[in-house]
Homo-oligomer: A and B are copies of this chain.
Amino acid sequence: MTLRFKRLTLIGIGLIGSSIALAAHRKELAEEIVISTRTEATLQRARELELGDRYYLDAGEAVEGADLVILCVPVGACEAVTKWIAPSLAPGAIVSDVGSVKEVVINAMQPHLPDTVHFVPAHPIAGTEHSGPDAGFAELFENRWCLLTPLPGSDEQAVARIHEFWTALGSNVEEMDAHRHDRVLAITSHLPHLIAYNLVGTAHDLETVTQREVIKFSAGGFRDSTRLAASDPTMWRDVFLNNKDAVLEMLGRFSEELAALQRAIRWGDGEALYKAFERTRYIRRNIIEAGQETAEPDFGRHVKDAGE
């Protein structure tokens, strides 16, 4: 089967890297899985978890002879890793990544890659609030989107193989221009995470409401934010540093709108509040209709488990 790679090298073995390793192994997508990571401790942990077949601290050695190399490192590390592995990449190899930002990553990686390899940037929209090699699970990508942002002139066969690879991992794959990707993700993912971090940070700083109270009564709406705000800080720092323009634009709009709601509250403008709250309902309905969610109360959580 053409789907199968001879040697898949994963650089970085956090939540995404370890999940790819487990899923690729289960689906038999590579004859051999090679793992490289920055620290001896993490590499040792990957070995204990039996995530791969061979293990290297040296990313250059790790990519030798690989026909698929996927960078699973924070966005800010992509350029340095690319420089490191570039001289060792096998001709014809496909190089991909999993970064949540695409334009900056492409500009950081592309100039350092030899002409003999095929670069197919990818972004699986999947994750949990956990990180590290222990956080991975083979089902992470099932029924999740994976966006590919091929470059003008990308090798069609290489793009098709990455498309098939992610489809085999269970994802729904779509191709999109990198610039558009970064704007779409700025509003659907980056801004919501920033807001969640900020909300939890604000609660943390209150003098008059105790931490104990915030935690105890979090089910009223705050709890969802704490999950987003528990995500990997390094990954998210890099997302915001590298998707600056789109995030700042969305944030500017968000703050404008929030100022309008604040004004309506201050002046007791109930009509403005009702109109603002009423129009957002239908977006939820559309999400349910699009099959991204169920209409079951409380987000599909089991009511009986909810408070436990």
Q: Which residues in B have their C-beta under 8 angstroms from that of A195?
A: 195, 199, 258
- Mark A218-250 against chain B: 1 for CB-CB distance below 8 A, else 0: 111111111111110110111011001001101
Given contacts A229-B281, A284-B129, contact A290 B215 (CB under 8 A): yes
Number of A residues whose C-beta is below 8 Å from B?
117
| Stretch in A60-68, A85-93, A149-157, A204-212 touching the partner | A204-212
A44 at the interface (CB under 8 A from B): no
Is residue A294 contacting chain B, with contact meaning CB distance below 8 A? yes
Residue A262 is within 8 A (CB to CB) of chain B in the complex = yes
A6 interface residue (CB < 8 Å to B): no
Question: Is residue A140 contacting chain B, with contact meaning CB distance below 8 A?
Answer: yes
Chain B hits for A81, CB < 8 A: none
**A297–B137 touching, CB < 8 Å:** yes
Q: How far is the CA of A225 from the CA of B302 in the complex (A)?
A: 19
Question: In the complex, which residues 24-69 of chain A have their Cβ closer than 8 Å to any Cβ of chain B?
Answer: none
B292→A218 contact, CB < 8 A: yes
| Cα separation A264 to B250 with both chains bound (whole Å) | 15
- Report the separation of the CA atoms of residues A178 and B216 in the bound assembly, to the nearest whole angstrom: 17
Interface digits, A272-290 against B, CB 8 Å rule (1 contact, 0 not)?
0110111111011111001
Asked if residues B286 and A215 are in contact (CB atoms below 8 Å), the reply is yes
Asked if A201 and B280 make an inter-chain contact with CB atoms under 8 angstroms apart, the answer reads: yes
Q: Is A1 an interface residue (CB 8 A)?
A: no
Q: In the complex, what residues of B have CB within 8 A of residue A291's CB?
A: 307-308
Q: Which B residues touch A230, using CB under 8 A? A: 280-281, 283-285
Given contacts A144-B307, A240-B265, A278-B233, contact A199 B254 (CB under 8 A): yes
Within the complex, which residue of B183, B199, B283 is in contact with A215, where a contact is CB–CB below 8 Å? B283
Given known pairs A197-B276, A227-B299, the reply for A294 and B308 (CB within 8 Å) is yes
Name the residue among A135, A231, A297, A301 with the largest chain B CB count within 10 angstroms. Answer: A297
A140 to B76, CA, bound (A): 45
- Among A188, A203, A241, chain B packs the most CB atoms within 10 A around the CB of A188
Which residues of A are in contact with B by a Cβ distance under 8 Å? 76, 125-126, 128-130, 135, 137, 139-140, 142-145, 147, 172, 183-185, 187-206, 208-209, 211, 213-231, 233-234, 236-238, 240-241, 244, 247-248, 250-251, 253-255, 257-259, 261-262, 264-266, 268, 270, 273-274, 276-281, 283-287, 290-295, 297-308
